[in-house]
Structure 1
Amino acid sequence: MSHNHSHNHSHSHTDLKGRNLFISILLNIVITVAQVIGGLISGSLALLSDALHNFSDVVSLIISYIAEKLSKRKASFQKTFGYKRAEILAAFINAATLMIVAVLLIIEAVERFQNPQEIESNLVIWLSVIAILGNGFSVLLLKKDSEANMNMKSAYLHLLTDMMASIAVLIGGLLMKYYQLYWVDSVLTFIIALYLIWMGFDLLKNSTKVLMLFTPESTPINKIVEEINAFNSIKNVHHVHIWQLNEEEIHLEAHIDFNEDITLSQFDTILQDIEALLFSKYDINHVNIQPEFGKDDVKDVIVQD
């Protein structure tokens, strides 16, 4: 049994990531409060729906912030992996809330479309501009980290979709002000909801795969087994499990039959070669091998435990 970890993130980088999340939380609290008050005064469902989405942003950002802090905690006897899955769990929760909010918005949009109401468009326009600026700044803060971290991507998507929603609300406010097209408020709400579903589904699917211990799509088990089997001293590779612990670690465990009853030092040498192969070609950085010689067990590559 052995493992090899490769981490590229410094403490200063993770501290900066947490700071950016905290700033985004504060900005979205201000935006949410302003939009709720403005939506109630103006009667704009699109503004209230944007406020609801902003509120979900606040919740998701807080979840992401907590998860980011937890992920840095060390392992213990009770938590041997530490909290390394915290950010994946946060991504799953945030993606699920995106979908739920979207369904609620669709229901409200359909009801309001059947009974359009006059709306105070000036307030809608100014509040949407404030939301665009606030969310736009938050999007810029999180964009870099979102490219390499599923948790940060979930927070980034919440903010990006809310900025897009605010742009839609601004357009709606202008149409209502100059053309009295009050039904546009409901139509825009419906479009915002569909966009949320489209953006949230992929993240929900990917985070679910990690939580379910599915093998990453980019990791070819059959090819990996073939390459390990090509070692002269190895007779058979079986009982293989490959899963993604988080976005920095892919784990492999397997049973290996050897042609001869080798010594422990010989096994260590072979294991180092296997580790180097798996890390360099497949980014697998945690390898757990059970050596066997003449053991009578199931020799299938995949074995249901």
Structure 2
Amino acid sequence: MGHHHGHNHTHEHSDLKGRNLVISIILNIGITTAQVIGGIFSGSLALLSDALHNFTDVISLIISYVANKLTKKKASFQKTFGFKRAEILAAFINASALIIIAVLLIIEAIKRFQNPEEIQSNLVIWLSIIAILGNGFSVLLLKKDAQANMNMKSAYLHLFTDMMASVAVLLGGLLMKYYQLYWVDSVLTFAIAIYLIWMGFDLLKDSTKVLMLFTPDTIPVKKIVKEINAFDSINNVHHVHIWQLNEDEIHLEAHIDFNEDITLSQFDEVLRDIEDFVLEKYQINHVNIQPEYGKEGPKDIIVQD
């Protein structure tokens, strides 16, 4: 078995990522508290829904922070992969929370639309401005990490959607203040919820694929098998598994039937060639090959274990 390890995150970067999460958590606790109090006193469902969304931000950021810390823990005999998938699990939980909260908001918005209530718009306006500034700062803190990490992307999406929701609440507050259009509060809540579902679905789908050990969409299994089969000493590549363990690792496992009864040192040379090939062309950085010669059994590319 051979391995190439491709780790893109240094310890210093990981510490910075954790610090940015802590800052975002503190900011969102403050925003959530202010919006809950303001929503109760103003009577604004949109403000309360934004507060509820902010509360899910706090939970998601805490989950992301814990997951970020867990990934640093070393592997053991009972946990041979360590906690490398903690961040993927966190992304799945966060995306699920987004969709569940969105459905609850839609139900409440429909009820409120049927019975609009007068709302203290001044409080809505000022609190939405505070939320925009706080979430905007958090978005800037996490933007860079979100580009390369699914867990950080989930936290980033929570904050970004909440910032946009706060912008919508601000516009709604202005409409209520100057035009007394109180039904706008329910419409905005409904729009925020739809946006949450749209943003959360892709992340839920992507994290589910990783948790289910599906082959990444960018990996053409048949093409890779054909290319490895073209190696001179190889007769057949079969029983192939390709999966993504976490953000940094893609694994390939296969059985290879050789043309001749080669020595172990010759196999090592072929293995190094395969490792270099799949790493350079497909970013597959963990390779596990079982060599065979004249062994009977299924020779299909995909064999059900």
When normalised by structure 1's length, the TM-score is 1.00
Name the counterpart of 1:125.
125
**Which residue does 2:208 correspond to in 1?**
208
The alpha-carbon deviation at position 247 of structure 1 amounts to 1.0
Q: Which residue of 2 aligns with 1:189?
A: 189
Question: Which residue of the partner structure matches residue 88 of structure 1?
Answer: 88
Could you tell me how far apart the structure 2 residues matched to 1:16 and 1:178 are? Answer: 44
Distance 2:218 2:8 in 1: 20
Matched letter for residue 4 of structure 2: N
Percentage of pairs with the same residue: 81
SS of 1:218's partner is: coil
Does 2:254 match 1:242?
no
Name the structure 2 match of 1:10: 10
Cα distance in 1 between the residues matched to 2:54 and 2:259 = 62
Q: Give unpaired runs (5+ residues) of structure 1.
A: none
Q: Which residue of 2 aligns with 1:198?
A: 198
**Secondary structure in 2 matching 1:75:** coil
1:103 correspondence with 2:113: no
**Structure 1 Cα separation of the partners of residues 297 and 22 of structure 2:** 53
SS of 2:2 mapped into structure 1: coil
Q: Distance in 2 between matches of 1:299 and 1:89?
A: 34
Q: Distance in 1 between matches of 2:119 and 2:216?
A: 49
Task: Quote the Cα distance in structure 1 between the aligned partners of 2:297 and 2:15.
Answer: 49
Q: Per-residue deviation at 1:8? A: 1.8
Distance 2:101 2:286 in 1: 38
Give, in whole Å, the separation in 1 of the partners of 2:25 and 2:9.
23
Q: What is the aligned-residue RMSD (CA, Å)?
A: 0.4
- 1:215-226 equivalences under 5 Å are 215-226=215-226
Match of 1:171 in 2: 171
How big is the shift at 1:7? 1.0
Question: What TM-score results when the alignment is normalised by the length of structure 2?
Answer: 1.00
**Shift in Å at residue 272 of structure 1?**
0.2
Q: Does 1:285 align with 2:285?
A: yes
Give secondary structure in 2 for the equivalent of 1:243.
strand
Is 1:162 aligned to 2:162, yes or no? yes
How far did 1:201 drift? Answer: 0.3
Q: 2:296 maps to which residue?
A: 296
Segments of 5+ residues of structure 2 without an aligned counterpart are: none
Letter in 2 for 1:229: N
Partner of 1:144: 144
Instruction: Quote the offset at 1:112 in angstroms.
Output: 0.2
Deviation above 6 Å: which 4+ runs of structure 1? none
- Cα offsets for 1:127-163 (capped at 9, x unmatched): 0000000000000000000000000000000000000
Q: Which amino acid is the alignment partner of residue 278 of structure 1?
A: V
Residue deviations 1:22-63 (CA, integer Å, cap 9, x gap): 000000000000000000000000000000000000000000
Quote the Cα distance in structure 1 between the aligned partners of 2:275 and 2:7: 16
Residue 72 of structure 1 and its aligned partner are, at CA, apart by 1.2
Measure the CA separation in 2 of the matches of 1:81 and 1:286. 13
